[in-house]
Amino acid sequence: MSQKTPRPILSSLLAAALACATALSPMAASAGDKLTYFTWSGYELPEFDATYLKAHADGVDTSTFGDDDDAFTKVKAGFRPDLAHPCYDKVARWSREGLIEPIETSRIKNWDKIFPVFRDLPDLQAGPGTVWMVPWDWGNTSILYRTDLVKDPEASWNLLWDKAYSGRLATIDAVHDTPVVAALLTGVSPFDMTPAQMDIVAAKLREQRPLLSSYTTDMTSVEQALASGQLVAAMTWNASAVALKKQNVPVAFMKPKEGMLTWACGFVLLKGSPHADLAYDFINSRLEASSGQKLIEDYGYGASTTSAFDAVPKETLEALQLPADPNVALKTTIFTGPMKQADDLAKMFEKVKAGG
């Protein structure tokens, strides 16, 4: 999804500092009566918003981010869109900071068509008849590798620590991805760890650092590097596997024995939004079957509604290796929920990336 400029290992802290400095200039997302939406790059496509655009000719004023940690930082510093698109593991943080307001489920036309496994997530509940986030998308994080350059690898996240491919590996620059995998490989719970366990995870991350070409959230660059053979394996999302297979690049999206990571994301309403009615219209448009169908067929991600899956041919789902019921996927994957030590883990990860 992301079109963000990749961050080489030695400059990751500099890039982060620059992003923070930019975010420290409080600003309104836009003026006037146009809905403003802050989302992952790739989710701004008008094809997702057909019904909304028919009703609102002015369209949507969209800003994009490469990672929802960056989005949180910018919004906390004063950037004020009407809607934002974080993932579930971050929602409690947004609500604790007073950045968002409850969404009334009675105003969400297809609320009952959202899979219960997402609709009933604990940190979404804001009180009777209200939620902090309306789920829209879900998917997996795993290793995408060149099958012609990595022959019959063990189905394990350890491939991203394989010294045989030093300099030809890349991983996602996000706390809820790479450190989570390091924790899984060391037998530590990624979502609640002691200081001693965090040290163990840090040591595992230090083992990986010299083997990497980059830490990045720029999947476009990762896809290009995999296509050229510059990279042989990288941590990616479903969409990268779909994109490269369409280009006939020989790749496989691994099912690690430790489990793929599964995430779910959606829409939050920023507190005091002057365009709440437009926000509800937008969310309702996105929850229509045609919008979710496009998400599934174009990116290989799961939509949050049963109606979207009903619109996709069975053979298409089979080709995407995407089950029509997310509960099937969750039986063998790790769902990325809230991390109790997220702030400490983020500081540790930045230190490791910088060589500490």
Q: Which amino acid is at 129?
A: G
139-261+337-354, superfamily in CATH?
Answer: Periplasmic binding protein-like II (3.40.190.10)
Amino acid at position 180, single letter: V
* DSSP strand pairing (212-216 vs 169-172): parallel
- Residue 66 is predicted with a pLDDT of 85
Q: Mean pLDDT for the chain? A: 91
d(CA 152, CA 159): 11
> Considering only CA atoms, which of 202, 206, 180, 205 is closest in space to residue 191?
180
| SS3 of residue 134 by DSSP | strand
pLDDT in tens, 62-81: 999 988 999 999 999 999 99
The pLDDT of residue 183 is 98
Tokens of 68: 């929802």
pLDDT at site 105? 98
Q: Mean per-residue pLDDT for 151-170?
A: 97
Alpha carbon distances (Å) from 329 to 69, 255, 352? 25, 11, 32
Residue 27 has pLDDT above 60, yes or no: no
Average the pLDDT over 98-111 and give the result: 98
Structure token digits, residue 266: 């959606």
DSSP letter string, 234-299: EEEEHHHHHHHHHTT--EEE---TT-EEEEEEEEEEETT-TTHHHHHHHHHHHTSHHHHHHHHHHH
Phi, psi of 196 (to 5 degrees): -65, -40
The residue to which tokens 């069975």 are assigned: 314
* E strand or H helix that includes residue 154: none
Whole-number pLDDT of residue 58? 93
Question: One-letter amino acid identity for 194?
Answer: T
Tell me if 304 sits within 8 A of 112, measured CB to CB: no
Q: pLDDT digits over 338-353, tens only? A: 999 999 999 999 999 9
Task: Confirm if 203 and 184 have CB atoms less than 8 A apart.
Answer: no
How far apart, in whole angstroms, are the C-alpha atoms of residue 109 and residue 140? 27
Q: What is the pLDDT of residue 55?
A: 97
pLDDT recorded at residue 152? 92
Is the pLDDT at 4 greater than 50? The verdict is no
Mean pLDDT for the stretch of residues 139-160 = 97
| Gyration radius from the chain CA atoms | 20
Segment 188-247, tens digit of pLDDT: 999 999 999 999 999 999 999 999 999 999 999 999 999 999 999 999 999 999 999 999
Tokens 């996709």 found at: 312
Residue 299: CB partners within 8 Å, gap ≥ 6?
1, 42, 139, 238, 239, 242
The number of residues making up the chain comes to: 356
The amino acid present at 48, given as its one-letter code, is: F
The CA distances from residue 334 to 113, 152, 181, 263, in Å, are 24, 24, 10, 9
Return the half-sphere exposure (C-beta side, CA atoms, 13 A cut-off) of residue 343: 3
Residues sharing a CB contact under 8 Å with residue 18, sequence separation 6 or more, in sequence order: none
Domains of the chain, by residue range, sit at: 35-138+262-324, 139-261+337-354
Give, in words, the CATH class of 35-138+262-324: alpha beta
> How far, in Å, CA of 243 to CA of 297, rounded?
11
Q: Do domains 35-138+262-324 and 139-261+337-354 have the same CATH topology?
A: yes
Query: 337 with 89: CB under 8 angstroms?
Result: yes
Token representation of residue 332: 């063998």
| pLDDT at 145 exceeding the cut of 50 | yes
- How would you classify the pairing of strands 125-127 and 134-146? unpaired
Is residue 33 very low, low, confident or very high in pLDDT (cuts 50, 70, 90)?
confident
